[in-house]
Each structure stands twice: as structure tokens, then as C-alpha cells.
Structure 1
């Protein structure tokens, strides 16, 4: 087995359906991770039209996060989160994505991370995973939050995944900014990891820059990925301000190394 390399559609966020499909065709891109946001209908409908009008070999879905924050405790926010994910699972049945990414949180109400909040989020993750299983969908819990918005530290995240038997996606950029031991993380969660987000930064801010533009040594990281998780998807998740040709070049490079 070898790792499949996906490009995140984050790079296309401000592009039209026609521009996206044209780029995909011109460069023969067959693997993509798509953001699905049922409460952001215009964007989701655009990406579903891309799926209907272009043939992919492999796709993954990035679940809702722009209008979905599991750290918010109000009942209406909970309903929105469950609705958003269930609608995403329904949409995905037609396209057979490898997994659906879940963010445990976005911004933190009152900037206050408590044990009670951690337990509340964990309950919501369990409920969404239950819904995912009812649709035969794979939910991939991602390590998110940067410093002050990091609800779960490395040990807590590892426990969340292992204690519940969850699949997970490791965002290397987030782990690096938060000072996590990335080799140890990969080795410990290797049997649960279904995907990775690759992007680079300076160790201080979550920039989502290309893999060769920052302080993360991706030659070392990719060697670990291939050794311990050879079936995992690797997603190049670059900010939409980056040059699309750069993500294409980096994708081709990783495909040769996979």
C-alpha cells in the first residue's frame, strides 16, 4: 500500500465552479478533499456541482466547521451541529468519501477551557460518531485549536481517540504550532489515523503555507507517515491565498515519494 495524496479545495475557496473544474481537468487532478457545509448552502452547492461534473478517483470530505462549533453549549448550536453532520453524511452516500473530518472546536466562549467543556465536547463527538456509523461513514476526529483555543492537549487527544476507538486525522501544522511530539503522536495513534493535513508555518501561527515554506521538516514527517500509516490519505491543505500551481507541484512531488 502507498499513501494517497489529496488536494484540499481550500485552495479553490474563492474560485467559481467553472474555474475549479478547468484547473482539475488541465492538471488531471483525481484526488480531492472537499469542505461540506450544509448551513453555507451556496458554497456546498458549488462543490456538489463540481462532484457531479468531474470524475475523481478518491475523495474525502471535510465536515462542517464555519457555522458549527462544538464548544458552544446552547441548544440551538447543538442542533445545528448534529443537523450539519447528518446532512453531510447523507450527501456523502452518493460519493463514497474516505472519511469525514470533524473539528472538536473552533473559538472558545469566554476564552474559558474547563473540564466541563471538555466532557461536553466529548459527548457531542460520541453522538456525531454514532450518527456517522448509522450512515456507514468514517468520522475522522482532527486535532484543532491553536494555543489558547486548544481544548485537548496531546495526551488528552490521544486518550479521546484511543479510549473511544475513533478514527482520526492528524493536522501536522496544528500539532507543530502547539508544540506536540509529532513522531510520538503518529506512533501512538498509527492504527487509528486515516488521514493527515500537511501545511507549514513558523511554529507560532497557523498559516497553512506550502510544505516547503516554514519550519516543519516534511521529509522527516512523510517518512514517518509512510512507515507507520501507509494507507492513510495525505491532504495538502493550503490557504486560498497560495498559488494553485504550488499545491500542484507539491502534490506531484509527494505522489512520487509515496
Structure 2
């Protein structure tokens, strides 16, 4: 199993602190949190002598592939990270199914948004394949009082309709969406290429450390071992730039995944 740390906790002046992570740990950046020039200057510092994988989280804060609009313009924006992807040998590219949902969508409006998102995922998958980019699609949570656009059934249906598509399963988003994480692990198996691991209390997307919320990590580890033993594990915490946090949590997950005492 391989471990990566998300740049979510290191945005701004703390970004250089990621260079202090153990060299066998990977680094995942949020594309929107820096310009292309910024990443081309910062990544040589972060990735120097690093054996851990590099990955890119594509635009998600200011991009919503489920909204009506100019699809070609969206495709161009989604493709902008490709140069950095190849220059720094990224392992995969993360795409959200949708952005933040407005309240009070009708069932018909939600279905229309899902159809738009599916069409664009398929179109972007074609561009990724043509550009030798490994695409993984991530489940997205709703908000208090706002259900997720893609329920568990809807999310799994994406992978039925696009049989070559790979998944990134976000544990925190799944908790908020009342998804059965174990069932998704069993259903998608090796198509789960990576995880975003973080915890919450089930009411908000808190990006807490594992063990500080309601996720059953022992159960997650058992199904990781059984169904997704090669998936990348990305710690996606917020407000935790301390290197020791990630070292401790890597040791813990290694222990429960491998049954080490």
C-alpha cells in the first residue's frame, strides 16, 4: 500500500512544509490553489528525491461539471493541469462529480444535473485517455439539509455506464452522504484506484484525522485488504500541517490493514 498527503492542510506559506514529509510519502496538490507557474516552481522543491507518488486534484472549488453551460470551455479548463501532470509524472487526476448544490432542487432538476455530469465525465475521460492521463472520479457529499447530487446508487451507476472509469472513494464524503463504504468497496473492487481518507461526525465535511469521527476504520481496513489492496491512500486533512500527524496515521493504517501487532 502507498500513502500520499493532500496539500489541503498546507495551502499558502505552509506549502513548503510538505517537503519535510518522509520521501516515501506522496503529495497531492489542489490545482486551483496555485497558478501553473506557481506549481512549476513549487513542485521541484516538494518532489525532490521523493519516491512517493504525485497526484493532481483537478478544479473543484470554482468548477461544477453538473451545471448547464459551455461544455467545451469546461473541458479546456479541466485540461489545463495536463502539462504539469506529465512534467512531474503524476499518477492520477481527481475529478469531482459535481460542485456545491443549491438548495431545493426538484427531482427533475437533480436528474438533469446528473445527466449533464455523466456526459461530461465521459467526454473528459476520452480526453484523458487520448492524453495518457489516468482519471479517477470522486464521490461528493451534500450539505446539511441538501442531499448529495449522486446517491450511492447514482454514483455506482456512473461506473456501470462507463466500464473503464476508475474511482477515488472519499471516506468523509461517503459518511456525510450515508453511503455504505464497505458495499462500495465490494462492488467496485480494484476500480477503486485511490482513497481520500478523513473523518467527520456525519453532519459536516470536517476533514478530521482518522479516528476522530464516526468511520469504522477497522471495517474499512478489512475491506481495503480484501478488495482494494493496491489503492493509493491519500490523507486529506484540513488544518493539520504537522508532519508527525501523517507519520502516526500511516503507521496506524498499516497496522490495522496488515494485522500487525
- Please tell me whether residue 208 in structure 1 is matched to residue 207 in structure 2: yes
Is the deviation greater in 159-168 or in 83-92?
A: 83-92
Q: CA deviation at 1:212?
A: 1.6
Counterpart Cα distance in 1 of 2:50 and 2:142? 33
1:77-111 Cα offsets, whole Å, 9 max, x none, are x4443122211123211222221110011122565
Q: Is the 8 A contact 2:190 2:231 kept in 1?
A: no
TM, length-normalised to structure 2: 0.86
Unpaired runs of at least 5, structure 1: none
Give the RMSD, CA atoms, in angstroms. Answer: 2.1
TM, length-normalised to structure 1: 0.87
- Please tell me whether residue 56 in structure 1 is matched to residue 50 in structure 2: yes
Q: Which residue of the partner structure matches residue 93 of structure 1? A: 86
Aligned length: 248
Q: Which of residues 76, 81, 89 in structure 2 aligns to 1:83?
A: 76
- Please tell me whether residue 152 in structure 1 is matched to residue 150 in structure 2: yes
Counterpart Cα distance in 1 of 2:104 and 2:44? 41
Q: CA deviation at 1:242?
A: 6.1
Counterpart Cα distance in 2 of 1:217 and 1:143? 19
Is the deviation greater in 176-185 or in 81-90?
A: 81-90
Q: Which of residues 54, 66, 73 in structure 2 aligns to 1:71?
A: 66
Q: Is the 8 A contact 1:173 1:200 kept in 2?
A: yes
Q: Which residue of the partner structure matches residue 121 of structure 2? A: 125
Counterpart Cα distance in 2 of 1:49 and 1:193? 31
Is the deviation greater in 172-181 or in 248-257?
A: 248-257
Counterpart Cα distance in 1 of 2:192 and 2:119? 21
- Please tell me whether residue 46 in structure 1 is matched to residue 38 in structure 2: yes
* 2:117 match: secondary structure: helix
Query: Stretches of 4+ moved more than 4 A in 1?
Result: 241-244, 255-258
Is the deviation greater in 207-216 or in 44-53?
A: 44-53
- Please tell me whether residue 105 in structure 1 is matched to residue 122 in structure 2: no
Unpaired runs of at least 5, structure 2: none
Q: CA deviation at 1:255?
A: 4.2
